[in-house]
């Protein structure tokens, strides 16, 4: 299977349009049609319905494989590129909103004191974008957060648009923190000293996967089809999410350290299921060199955490 044809097929399936995929890829529409036809000929199966554009059953099966295949190719390409990097190469860090902590800022200060003039860029984005950016070489290293059972590594690639398996990437644990349910002031449950998720399944929830605990993760942990969202927030600003909770639009689960005092909300500890907020660092499989290695050493200096790095391509 030609990976160029596979990428084109994925783009058309994602856009549900040959012309939109052509614009995304910088090809002509006829070239996109020819590439999809060539892939279908190679596999001996129709992959896309044309009107309307949608994957066939065979196309759906191929899409399940396409993500991991293309990601592994990106990882392999970038692994080779990283091996030839100059130790003085710029440090490009990607991180999720809740991973951008004082600890990270202090670690960067340590690195910059030791390397005056180092070119550093920090970009905050959603989890899927950060992980994909690391895989494609956009970032030297990334910090990501998520919700897991205590001491478990993050399942970084199982959810969202990526949909890749956990065997592709792993990370070094940085912190684990307790979780709280964020309630608006005056809510009847603010008097409780702790809340099991089962007591909140019928509550209104804000779907804010770019900041708060993703609701699919909570559903999986609770082994239930609830909680379900009644409001969606598509952003990475914690203060904005807190304001939405304070205004009564729904509940959210966050690490306690992310909740400001006197913000019109009441954080109540989540007591069951047993979950923590975990932050991990992803860096090159060999640990990196130069500024990446220095940053890794600085940000993990007090953690004592072990690596959950998994095998790659």
pLDDT digit string, tens, across residues 251-309 = 999 999 999 887 899 999 999 999 999 999 998 877 666 899 899 999 998 654 444 44
pTM of the model: 0.69
| Cis before 52 (ω within 30) | yes
Across residues 171-186, what is the average pLDDT?
93
% of the chain residues with pLDDT over 90: 64
CA distances from 96 to 14, 127, 129, 146 (A): 24, 6, 9, 10
pLDDT in tens, 52-75: 999 999 999 999 999 888 877 877
pLDDT in tens, 210-240: 899 999 889 888 888 889 999 999 999 999 9
- CB 56, CB 47: distance < 8 Å: yes
More confident residue, 136 or 295: 295
Q: What is the pLDDT of residue 243?
A: 95
Residues 6+ apart with CB under 8 A from 301: 107
Which DSSP symbol is given to 311?
Answer: P
Using the Cα atoms of residue 243, residue 245, residue 250 and residue 254 in order, give the sign of their dihedral: positive
Comparing 43-47, 164-168, 174-178, the range with the smallest average pLDDT is 164-168
Residue 165 reports pLDDT greater than 60: no
Write down the H helix ranges in 16-101.
18-25, 29-43, 57-83
Helix axes 127-135, 57-83, angle to 10 degrees: 60
- CB 95, CB 130: distance < 8 Å: yes
Q: Which of 98, 143, 91 is nearest to 121 (CA)?
A: 91
Q: What is the pLDDT of residue 307?
A: 42
């Amino acid at each position: 299977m030609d990976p160029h044809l596979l990428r084109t097929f994925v783009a058309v399936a994602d856009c549900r349009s040959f012309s939109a995929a052509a614009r995304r890829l910088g090809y002509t529409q006829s070239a996109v049609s020819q590439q999809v036809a060539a892939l279908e000929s190679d596999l001996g199966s129709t992959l896309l319905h044309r009107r309307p554009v949608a994957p066939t059953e065979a196309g759906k099966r191929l899409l399940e494989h396409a993500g991991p295949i293309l990601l592994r190719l990106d990882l392999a390409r970038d692994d080779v590129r990283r091996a030839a990097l100059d130790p003085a190469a710029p440090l490009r860090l990607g991180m999720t909103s809740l991973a951008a902590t004082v600890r990270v800022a202090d670690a960067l200060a340590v690195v910059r004191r030791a390397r005056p003039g180092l070119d550093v860029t920090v970009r905050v984005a959603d989890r899927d974008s950060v992980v994909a950016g690391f895989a494609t070489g956009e970032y030297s290293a990334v910090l990501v957060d998520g919700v897991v059972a205590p001491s478990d590594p993050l399942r970084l690639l199982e959810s969202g648009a990526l949909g890749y398996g956990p065997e592709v990437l792993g990370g070094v644990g940085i912190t684990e923190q307790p979780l709280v349910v964020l309630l608006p002031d005056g809510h009847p449950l603010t008097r409780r000293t702790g809340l099991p998720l089962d007591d909140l399944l019928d509550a209104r929830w804000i779907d804010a996967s770019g900041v708060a605990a993703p609701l699919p993760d909570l559903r999986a942990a609770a082994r239930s089809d609830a909680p379900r969202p009644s409001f969606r927030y598509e952003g990475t600003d914690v203060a904005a999410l807190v304001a939405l909770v304070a205004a009564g639009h729904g509940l959210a689960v966050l690490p306690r350290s992310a909740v400001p005092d006197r913000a019109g909300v009441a954080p109540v500890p989540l007591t069951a299921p047993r979950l923590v907020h975990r932050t991990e660092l992803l860096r090159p499989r060999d640990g990196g060199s130069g500024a990446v290695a220095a940053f890794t050493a600085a940000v993990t200096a007090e953690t004592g955490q072990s690596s959950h790095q998994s095998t790659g391509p």
